[in-house]
Amino acid sequence: MLPVLALGPWQIGTYAATYALALFVAGMWAFHRLCRGLPHPPRLLARGLVLAIGAAFIGAHLVRLLPTLQEWQRTGSVAWFGGSSFAGALAGGCLAALLYFRRHQVPLGRALDLGAALPFPLGQAIGRLGCLAAGCCYGRPTASPLGLYLPDHEGLWAVRHPTQLLAAGADLLILAVLLAVEGRGRRHSLQPGTAPPPAGSLFLVYLALYSLKRFALEFLRGDGLPAAGALSWAHLYSLAALAVALALLLGRHLRGLRAHGQPT
């Protein structure tokens, strides 16, 4: 829709500008929350954040190796699938954070609650506006009255599901839910005889909600990479992430019940 922003004699890609803004806003909020919530030197936390962002960038592109190998096995030709994937970014960033924070004795669950659970959906909501401007992550053509006249990544216009706007709206809804969950947990922990929610729970709630959102919207998108039957690679990533999040949340809940002497 607006792939390039003209600033006098200069031009800048709207996608790149929007994602830079998303990274700046989410990164600064994450750093602020980490510094307020952890008793560690800001320089140590800043290094971990930068390392996680770099690993997320690598993971976002490396995850495209799987559909590339699938295509090579199917056709015998090598055709690299370009673009990036947030699932890969999430995996890469979390792995880097795990290694770095464990080495420096920073509690990973607490760090993810502070530096990822809330900043992630805000950054995603901003970034999806860049996708809308560039025409990527586009929706399938539709006759629905909710469809909008939008292009795909090749500039072909049609009435499509506005998946970029739907994703941005869902991300903001997830952010609102997480803010409410965090506030409720904070108030609950202030009550006599109660313990705060287990570290990492807020991030796991985010991961579960994001996975559900991504799985549902994938049926409306027109750029999915087929994986198995009617399911795309994004469907499989989402199901795997959802299973991990729910399993870890259940495990934390059961451990909490046992710690308070309640039957499980």
The 3-class secondary structure across 210-239, one letter per residue, is: HHHHHHHHHCCECCCCEEECCEEHHHHHHH
The C-alpha atoms of residue 124 and residue 85 are separated, in whole angstroms, by: 12
Q: Is it the case that residue 2 has pLDDT exceeding 70?
A: no
In this predicted structure, which of 73-87, 126-140, 164-178, 192-206 has the lowest mean pLDDT? 73-87
Closest residue by Cα to residue 210 from 147, 118, 98, 126: 118
Comparing 150 with 80, which gets the higher pLDDT? 150
Angle of CA points 147, 81, 97, to nearest 5°: 95
Q: Which two tokens stand for residue 247?
A: 């399993």
Characterize the bridge pairing of strands 10-13 and 148-151: unpaired
Q: Which residue reads 């005889």 in tokens?
A: 193
Q: Which residue reads 């770099």 in tokens?
A: 54
Summarize the confidence of residues 10-31 as an average pLDDT: 90
**pTM given for the model:** 0.88
Give pLDDT, residue 264. 42
Torsion angle in degrees (nearest 10) through CA of 136, 56, 119, 152 = 0
